[in-house]
A and B are shown apart, each in its own frame.
Chain A
């Protein structure tokens, strides 16, 4: 599903859009090595004429890489944008030659 994945030296940053969803109705978990994001968006009253927004009751899955420190995952939610920081487990140690 619609993810954006960024990488830095220490972390991956996973961003996904969940427009219309309250932070309270978002549930994030790691099942085995799969990141699962569940959520619900409240639907307004009325007859739907045009429906382009994603399903109101959604579940997004992302297979995680081996080198991710699952216990270190943190989540931030702001105005429909869910950002997850996934720390890399293996730290590369560079040897400097003097």
Chain B
């Protein structure tokens, strides 16, 4: 399933970073990437796209609700993430779109149409 796409999850160290779960779809003319970013505002997230990769980074303040103490669950685990994905097909970096909905970051990455190079015979 992964032959199409190389995941470089270990590119960044994992020790202190919580990696946001991600689904990636191939929808023919584009890829759709859905990344779990619950509690993140769009200002907390930065994207960097190249012709064959996308790197996504999120940072936010810890959010223990006032008056409460944590009894169960990971302490401050979802405050930072860094992910890098590489794609086999060339991306149309000009037309990448990202939206946030219900805590999911949806990124549409159009594929660049293959460029045909005509051969002129002299």
Contacts and interface: CB of A to CB of B under 8 A. Distances in A.
A51 interface: yes
Nearest to A25: B102
Contacts of A2: 73
B28 interface: yes
B104 A19 contact: yes
Contacts of A81: 38-39, 103
A53 B26 CA distance: 16
Nearest to A62: B72
Contacts of B74: 4
Contact of B25 (A13, A17, A48): A48
Interface stretch (B1-9, B45-53, B90-98): B1-9
B23 A51 contact: yes
B32 A53 contact: no
A73 B78 CA distance: 26
A80 B102 contact: yes
Contacts, number: 106
Tell me what chain A mostly uses at the interface: helix, strand, loop, or mixed.
strand
Interface in B69-117: 69-74, 85, 100-104
Contacts of B101: 20
A4 B65 CA distance: 11
Contact of B102 (A7, A8, A22, A52): A22
Contacts of A46: 25-28, 32
Interface string A26-63: 00000000000000000011111111111000000000
11 contacts: A5-B72, A8-B68, A12-B71, A17-B38, A19-B38, A45-B25, A46-B26, A47-B27, A49-B2, A80-B36, A80-B37
